[in-house]
């Protein structure tokens, strides 16, 4: 079942001066439970496309639908609430809150949404155990390795059981061993919780595990291969 659909979306920066056409008429659908990667050379529009799918940027033209709702016409406040409830984000730079422990970072979105404390504790520990960092629950980001920090970021993204996860170059700062472990854990969660994952990446290790590769060039889809 398709849960995400982009219809002929475009994104133009600096339209009144020197226009930069980052995305040019992209139409894509993503099914529930997929494990997909958006690939292509630097500057081809991968991150811009991911940001529009996640409602972090609005398309210049076209529509983005998630579960049948057109998200790019929502107000800023409504879009923020929609993202909190439906979308998990994983970034290259981890984006953990430095003064919070691994437990607190993972719990953060659940607390924003008003989850009961007992359910927060149960879900956080379930995820930290799945990420093999339960013993790091009370450590802050500066006490964790890069790979461990990214595992916390994945746990946080999964915490509210979002409809899908958007991961922007999540392995860029990790060594080969940490990358392999992280990707295997994400695949396990994809299979266990049926969470849809969409990556933007240059990393061959991500591409080898993805079941769908969408290649962009000059803001256009030039290949869409499924395994």
Residue 208 structure tokens = 């080898």
Residue 177 structure tokens = 């061993």
Cβ atoms of 149 and 94 within 8 Å: the answer is yes
| Residue 18: pLDDT over 90 | no
Question: Mean pLDDT across the stretch 109-124?
Answer: 96
Question: Mean pLDDT across the stretch 60-74?
Answer: 94
Identify which of 94, 97, 103 has the alpha carbon closest to the alpha carbon of residue 139.
Answer: 103
- Look up tokens 């059981």; give the residue: 161
For 82, which DSSP code? H
Domain ranges of the chain: 2-226
What is the rounded distance in angstroms from the CA atom of residue 136 to the CA atom of residue 226?
A: 37
| Residue 1: pLDDT over 80 | no
Contacts of 102 (CB under 8 A, 6+ apart): 128, 133, 136, 137, 138, 139, 140, 141, 144, 148, 152, 155
Q: What are the helix (H) ranges across the chain?
A: 46-53, 76-86, 102-112, 117-130, 146-158, 176-193, 204-209
What is the rounded distance in angstroms from the CA atom of residue 6 to the CA atom of residue 1?
A: 15
pLDDT 10s digits, 167-210:
999 998 888 888 998 999 899 889 988 899 999 999 999 999 99
pLDDT at position 227: 79
pLDDT 10s digits, 26-64:
999 999 999 999 999 988 999 999 999 999 999 999 999
Cβ atoms of 27 and 220 within 8 Å: the answer is no
- Look up tokens 């997909």; give the residue: 36
Identify which of 58, 71, 89, 80 has the alpha carbon closest to the alpha carbon of residue 200.
Answer: 89
pTM listed for this prediction: 0.92
pLDDT at position 200: 95
Q: Please provide the CATH number assigned to the domain covering 2-226.
A: 3.40.50.300
For the chain, the average pLDDT equals 93
């Amino acid at each position: 079942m398709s849960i995400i659909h982009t219809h002929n979306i475009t994104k133009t920066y600096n339209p009144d001066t020197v226009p930069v056409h980052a995305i040019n008429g992209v139409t894509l659908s993503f099914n529930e439970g997929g494990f997909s990667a958006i690939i292509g050379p630097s500057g081809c529009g991968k991150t811009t496309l991911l940001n529009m799918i996640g409602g972090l940027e609005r398309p210049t033209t076209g529509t983005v639908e998630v579960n049948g709702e057109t998200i790019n016409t929502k107000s800023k406040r409504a879009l923020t609430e929609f993202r909190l409830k439906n979308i998990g984000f994983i970034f290259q730079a981890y984006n953990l809150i430095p003064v919070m422990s691994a437990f607190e970072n993972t719990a953060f979105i659940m607390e924003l949404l008003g989850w009961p404390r007992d359910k927060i504790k149960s879900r956080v520990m379930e995820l930290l155990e799945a990420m093999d960092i339960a013993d790091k629950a009370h450590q802050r980001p500066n006490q964790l390795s890069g790979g461990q920090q990214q595992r916390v970021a994945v746990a946080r993204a999964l915490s509210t059981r979002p409809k899908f996860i958007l991961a922007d170059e999540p392995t860029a700062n990790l060594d080969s061993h940490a990358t392999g472990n992280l990707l295997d854990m994400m695949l396990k969660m994809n299979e266990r919780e049926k969470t849809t994952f969409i990556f933007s990446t240059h990393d061959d290790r991500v591409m080898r595990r993805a079941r769908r590769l969408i290649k962009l060039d000059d803001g256009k889809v030039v290949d869409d291969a499924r395994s």
